[in-house]
Chain A
Amino acid sequence: MIKQIGTRLWKIITSFELTIVSLALLMALVFLCTLAQVHLGTLGAVNAYMRSFIVWWQPQSMNISIPVFPGGTLVGMALVVNLTASTIKRLAFTWQKAGLWIVHIGLILLIAGEFATGAFQVDTSMAIEVGQTVNFVESPRSMELAVIDTTDPAYDDVYSIPEATLAREGTVAIPGTPLAIRVRKFFRNANLSALGQGDQPSMATAGVGPGVKVVGAPAVTRDEEINHTTAFIEPIAGGRSFGTWLVSTDLGAPQGFTYEGRSYRLLVRPRRIYLPYAVTLKKFSHDVYPGTDIPKNFSSLIHLSNPGTGEERDVLIYMNQPLRYDGKAFYQASFGKGDTLSILQVVGNPGWLIPYISCVLVTIGLLIHFGITLRRSVKRRQSQKEG
């Protein structure tokens, strides 16, 4: 009985039907994902359609989600299983089939590479002004609450609480300090405005918060939109509360309090990841074609300084020419402030080499296979003519 089920299962996962159904489902997903980008933005659409097991549909005005379609992850896994199993089952280990073997191994690698990217790729950016030295990258899509001890004028001690922790709305003790932060309310995205006459009083009791009205908003995913991450927090130290503060990426005003002679500042900002080396922007160039505003070239001349390895060198980063360093790649992404600010995109993806390898494999494999097929068909035509 079990053997029977096993045989049937093996038959299904090695079948051409599964290949074709999976490929067709993938086509449908890719098509839907492309259309959805108009409203959801690239990241939102990819997360909904490609990087999910199931595509959910939420009818308007109803608070339920209905599974409507298998997601990209599921289809991708089905394809990998089908590809692996049917390659083993169907392809004889002969020179005739060598091309197809190589193609399928290359494809498995390619899909695996996309899974690796989804799982491990870290997208960050580095905004740097001419003359400025920066030793951190920022994650534009996740925020943090930074508690900065500014007592010593020579340096700051930075303690940060990532967004995911804030979202749990509990009390977080900050190691190395007597402080704890109680998160009373968290908004992934919110609209802030001045508190009007008839509005409910704010939850905040200290800082600028009492004068601000906060309305939660749905989180956005479109590339050009950003979330105004906002929270009401209550610093606690030595059993005493320092009041409830409103903190938000949308608030410019610095806020802070003093405890036992130490000054602390509170702010929400894009999550920072500090690097063991520093980058100084020496020069940013932005050329346009004469008489037009068509960009001809962007480039950033940076100085890289790594005290750990003693490296000191200049690097020119420009379009199609990133700097690969320390497992990260630095790309010229954008610019601003009258061409004095350069924005570099910093990407860490341990699997970045996989697609290159798989591309070479599939190309060679297809060439071999179609080469063999072509030779056979030419031979057949010749023998037909002779016969």
Chain B
Amino acid sequence: MKLAKLFPWLAGVLALAAVLFAMLPSGKVRGFDIQGFASLPVLEGGRVKPLDSVARNSLLMIRGQQSFRSGGHTFNADEWLLDLMLRPQVADQQPVFRIDDPDVLGLIGMKQSSNRYYSFQALGPHLEEVQKQAQAAQPIEPQKRTRFQSAVVNLFERVYLYYKLRNTLQLAGTPGLAFEMQTLGTPDASQRHADLAQVAQFRPLPPLPGQNADAWQSTGEALRAADAGSVHPALPLLAQASQAYATGDTNGFNGAVKALEARIAAERPEFVSHADHEVLFNRTQPFYQGMWLYVAALIVVFVSWAWKPEILRPTAFALLCVGALVHTGGLIFRIVLQGRPPVTNLYSSAVFVGWGAVILGLILERLYKNGFGTAVATAAGFASLIVAQHLGTEGDTMEMMRAVLDSNFWLATHVVTITIGYSGTFLAGAIAIGYTIRKHLVPDPDPETTRSLVSMAYGIICFALFFSFVGTVLGGIWADQSWGRFWGWDPKENGALLIVLWNAIILHARWAGYVRERGLMAMAIFGNIITSLSWFGVNLLGVGLHSYGFTTNGFWWLMGFDATQALFMFLCLMPSLRSATHRHA
């Protein structure tokens, strides 16, 4: 009995310990302080971030992963980026380009095989053809491109990013930055410096004392200034690090990295501390951890319905709590890092939708204590974090906000409210799916639990109606404030309206007595379809003011999701499989 009480606590503490373990910094690689180098702040995409973020986002975009194995060694993103910038001859042999499209593979003379990853070197002879095909496809609107055209444009963009990174610190194929420092002002140098300034993907040299906080310089720009006689104090250190890395001089590299960090910290300590925090956030990967915690909790809750419920149900709840804690911590960390409300783009909306559903599910579990709250919370949390993981491969998830969206007040009110509305609608749908599965699988479901499921779904639909309505109208008010009309029938606005209308229909149908248990649940599942369409579908149309989060691949996923929901609706309306077999038997 004592163990039964202790076990859930033990599971929770262990899970938390595992998360904390991930926060520990990794050691040196081949004696190089790569971690220290990756913590250096740079300016990319309009914001200051650690090199670590540049490395992870770039590798995610190019390969779809944050690390990879090659030649018996696991490369993390930082080591890969360092190689790419300072030892391109090594990086060019790493299989980092993921290519799935058979036509694109054909273009580069490959057959479709189990190997989906190709190195820059392998692509080399075909780059001209890839560029030609991509440039032919680029003028076509993204939603009108064929699969091949989209894939070839996508490959070209990744190759271009790779090429830019490769030529950011120093031009690939030249002796390197130290050589540039020795040949300042010579005739050929200025052309190289101009090329470097042009292709640089990020700016590693911080603003000089007295300069504007935005006045970061690329290596090329700093070399041009050095040609004219004014040497950025960090430039020689960067040159030292570059030479030391290429020649395998660990002490020289580590010393230069320390000196670089000290140099920036002395003048702009805020950049260094921001970069350190972001590195910690990147390393922890709270949403990824949260995803696995939710899976674990979901499995435990399923088992609990068949075996040892008195121990396993609280254990599942404990894991859910740890998952929610990590998820919440990650959200808060992001809010502080970015200085923005939680939802700023499609990626963060997925994270937040999941969070809202998890918190609501936690509350339901506290109220009803039957494991259903835990099950739907973990399922919803897991699903939305998986979606977020996929959306996160499209680039920096903390990208800068376009002028029209740059309003913390409206992001905090309209966007957060409407996203909570999505959470609610999805959670009601998840409860209904749970109801459907239970109906068909559980022999003689107990009517008390069925009643509580119905009242859970009903309560959550009321909640969702409230938030989706308020969120929609707040969106109208934002639109009125910023471009002069309250309601413009923009696709995203229409999507939000559809959710409000559908929730209103469910409630009215219930009040009028047209639907009872089964009908209400089937309608709640249809709410999932409506919400997924309004959340992602409108981005596929590519029209309107809100079409900022365009995703092509997403279309088939969306259709697949909606098809499963339609299946669940059908199952929900069908009489129980169990009762049917009973009758036949």
Contacts and interface: CB of A to CB of B under 8 A. Distances in A.
Interface stretch (A37-45, A166-174, A270-278): A37-45
B485 A347 contact: yes
Contact of A359 (B47, B473, B504, B511): B473
Contact of B477 (A19, A114, A356): A356
A248 B497 CA distance: 41
B482 A377 contact: no
A214 interface: no
A27 B495 CA distance: 10
B350 to A, nearest CB: 22
Contact of B403 (A45, A110, A123, A295): A295
Contact of A331 (B483, B490, B495, B498): B483
Contact residues of A: prevailing secondary structure: helix
A346 B216 CA distance: 39
Contacts of B214: 290
B400 interface: yes
Contacts of B399: 294
B402 A295 contact: yes
B485 A38 contact: no
Interface string B540-571: 01111000000000000000000000000000
A296 interface: yes
Interface in B463-510: 463, 465-466, 469-470, 473-474, 476-478, 480-491, 494-495, 497-498, 501-502, 504-505, 508-509
10 contacts: A30-B489, A290-B216, A291-B43, A291-B44, A320-B407, A320-B478, A322-B481, A322-B482, A333-B483, A358-B473
A37 B543 contact: yes
A192 B494 CA distance: 38
A358 B491 CA distance: 22
B504 A23 contact: yes
B508 A23 contact: yes
Contacts of A20: 505, 508-509, 512, 514
A352 B402 CA distance: 26
A298 B482 CA distance: 12
A329 interface: yes
Nearest to B202: A291
A294 B402 contact: yes
Contacts of B459: 374, 377
Contacts of B463: 370
Contacts of A121: 485
B267 interface: no
A267 interface: no
A374 B494 CA distance: 30
Contacts of A321: 481
B206 to A, nearest CB: 12
Interface centre among A24, A31, A370 (most CB of B within 10 A): A31
Contacts of B494: 30-31, 33-34
A137 to B, nearest CB: 12
A362 B487 CA distance: 17
Nearest to A295: B403
B45 interface: yes
A16 B508 contact: yes
B330 to A, nearest CB: 25
Given A42-B544, A295-B402, 4 more contacts: A110-B473, A123-B485, A322-B481, A358-B473
A289 to B, nearest CB: 3
A289 B491 contact: no
Contacts of B543: 37-38, 42
B23 interface: no
B518 to A, nearest CB: 17
Closest 9 pairs between A and B when the two form their complex, measured CB to CB: A289-B46, A16-B512, A347-B484, A359-B473, A290-B214, A320-B482, A295-B403, A292-B46, A34-B494
Contacts of B544: 37, 42
A297 B406 contact: yes
Interface string B25-69: 000000000000000000111110000000000000000000000
Nearest to B499: A27
A366 interface: yes
Contact of B541 (A35, A355, A370): A35
A355 B480 contact: yes
Interface in A369-385: 370, 373-374, 377
Given A16-B514, A117-B485, A359 B474 contact: yes
B410 interface: yes
Interface in A10-33: 16-17, 19-20, 23-24, 26-27, 30-31, 33
Contacts of B24: none
A121 to B, nearest CB: 7
B308 to A, nearest CB: 26
Interface string A314-331: 000001111000000101
A46 interface: yes
B257 interface: no
Interface of A: 16-17, 19-20, 23-24, 26-27, 30-31, 33-35, 37-38, 42, 45-46, 50, 110, 113-114, 117, 121, 123, 288-292, 294-298, 319-322, 329, 331, 333, 345-347, 349, 352, 355-356, 358-359, 362-363, 366-367, 370, 373-374, 377
B446 to A, nearest CB: 15
Interface string B205-232: 0000000001110000000000000000
Given A37-B541, A295-B403, A297-B406, A355 B477 contact: yes
Contacts of A50: 489
Given A333-B483, A347-B485, A359-B473, A289 B541 contact: no
B462 interface: yes
Contacts of B511: 16
B470 A359 contact: yes
Contacts of A38: 541-543
A290 B501 contact: no
Contacts of A320: 404, 406-407, 410, 478, 481-482
A8 B483 CA distance: 46
A345 B484 contact: yes
A14 to B, nearest CB: 12
Interface string B497-533: 1100110110011011010000000000000000000
A127 to B, nearest CB: 16
A363 B495 CA distance: 20
B480 A294 contact: no
Contacts of B485: 117, 121, 123, 347, 349
A20 B542 CA distance: 31
Contacts of A24: 505
Interface centre among B487, B508, B541 (most CB of A within 10 A): B487
A33 B487 CA distance: 14
B538 interface: yes
B495 A34 contact: yes
B146 interface: no
A292 B201 CA distance: 10
B473 A290 contact: no
B466 A367 contact: yes
Contacts of B403: 295-298, 319
Contact of B400 (A27, A31, A34, A294): A294
A367 B216 CA distance: 50
A329 B462 contact: no
Contacts of B474: 359
